[in-house]
Amino acid sequence: MNDRLHDLVIVGGGPVGAALAIALSDAAYDVLLLEARADLNTANDERTLAMSYGSRLILERLGTWNRIESPTAIHSIHISQRGGFGRAVLGAHDAGLPALGYVVGYRRLQKALGEALAMSRATLVAGANVEDLEFSTDRVSVRFRRDHQEHSVSGRLLVIADGGATLGERAGATIKVRDYRQEAVVARITTSKPHGQRAFERFTAGGPVALLPFADRYALVWTAAPEAAARIAAMNDTSFLDALQGHFGDRAGRLLAVASRARFPLALRYADDPVLSRSVLLGNAAQALHPIAGQGFNLGLRDAWELANLLLHRDDPDPGSSGCLAAYRSARRLDRFGGIALTDSLVRIFSNNFAPLRAARGAGLALLDIAPPLKRTFMQRMIFGAS
């Protein structure tokens, strides 16, 4: 592949990078998408994603929502804290929406986006492993390896999407990291009660525990200190279920079976400025958040939608111009840093057993539950972001 000049070169064909390419498919831009995996449509990833109703609206505008197989709607969320008073129940009816959000399988979402991408005007190069970047005044050159051969392409704008965190550093981004000293144990849980489209978020001193309705089971996210997470992950099924039942309680009924267990570390990792010389960081490359409140994917999808809208409605023919990038930075500042601050604050406030703070948390949850204007404002922020 010769060093051809494209309008945009997107590195990363995960949900955020693919969404951007699809959003630009009706424009006159020449878009090249480089993806390290050999085939987007056969992603072997059993993770689940918590998707807000706002993200559904974006995917509908991209023409991909109806392609997603069996999303599970969340009609209500029960929020509580272990060892303290106070709880809040958020309902879709409180927000005037048919659902607060959805739980979708990552593999199913990626397949739907891959199918839409194949019908777009963007060019996908799979199996491309980016090795080097070179910046000049009017372009960014990208060198990658594919099929044991080196290739080079150039773009007026480079977009580093999804898992390209180290590539962002090579592009000159200043990355800030906060290690929460927590790990997430994820699994699928079968219970004695049907979930009724209700999600649970229970805060504990070791970190939050979430049960999200997914098909006829729950998707579990159990946060704990690394040593505790290692013990939990090593338990046999019976011991695991007994430990989770004691930790979470019986709100979801008796826990009957567990499957698809995995474990991964948790940290806040974000670019101080996602806009660099002729390049933009999106998705996990721009900010990787704690899973508390399920904001990470939704924030990244809004990043992609905002960038696409800006490019589609500007008269500037150069998508990598300083004016274009400054406009994107300004448009995303409030929502991006608001999402980062909100998630980080929730982790800090709720992941401890400090008695005065526990009482304040309980009072805050009780107030949220009984004050409709406060509840609506909070839900609007979680569903649609800040603007």
Reported as a single tens digit per residue, the pLDDT across 151-185 is 999 999 999 997 655 888 888 999 999 999 999 99
Mean pLDDT of 113-133: 94
Q: Is residue 350 pLDDT above 90, yes or no?
A: no
The pLDDT value given to residue 170: 87
Residue 42 in this model has a pLDDT that exceeds 80: no
End-to-end CA distance of the chain: 41
Least confident span in 96-105, 196-205, 350-359 = 350-359
Share of the chain above pLDDT 70, in %: 97
CATH of region 80-101+178-267+351-384:
3.30.9.10
The C-alpha atoms of residue 288 and residue 310 are separated, in whole angstroms, by 23
Domain ranges for the chain = 5-43+105-176+269-350, 80-101+178-267+351-384
Q: pLDDT for 251-269, tens place per residue?
A: 999 999 999 999 999 999 9
Average pLDDT over residues 322-344: 96
What is the per-residue pLDDT across 46-90, written as a single tens digit (0 to 9) for each? 789 999 999 999 999 999 999 999 999 999 999 999 888 889 999
Superfamily of domain 5-43+105-176+269-350: FAD/NAD(P)-binding domain (3.50.50.60)
Residue 25 confidence class, pLDDT cut points 50, 70, 90: confident
pLDDT at residue 166, as a whole number:
80
- Report the C-alpha dihedral over residues 143, 42, 19, 384, rounded to 10 degrees: -130
- CA angle, residues 168, 123, 12, in degrees to nearest 5: 25
Most confident of 252-256, 314-318, 348-352: 252-256
User: For residue 48, what pLDDT is reported?
Assistant: 93
pLDDT at 85: 85
Closest residue by Cα to residue 284 from 13, 9, 60: 13
φ/ψ of residue 306, rounded to 5: -65, -40
Element holding 269 (H helix, E strand): strand 255-271
**Whole-number mean pLDDT of the chain?**
93
| Model confidence band, residue 43 (pLDDT cutoffs 50, 70, 90) | low
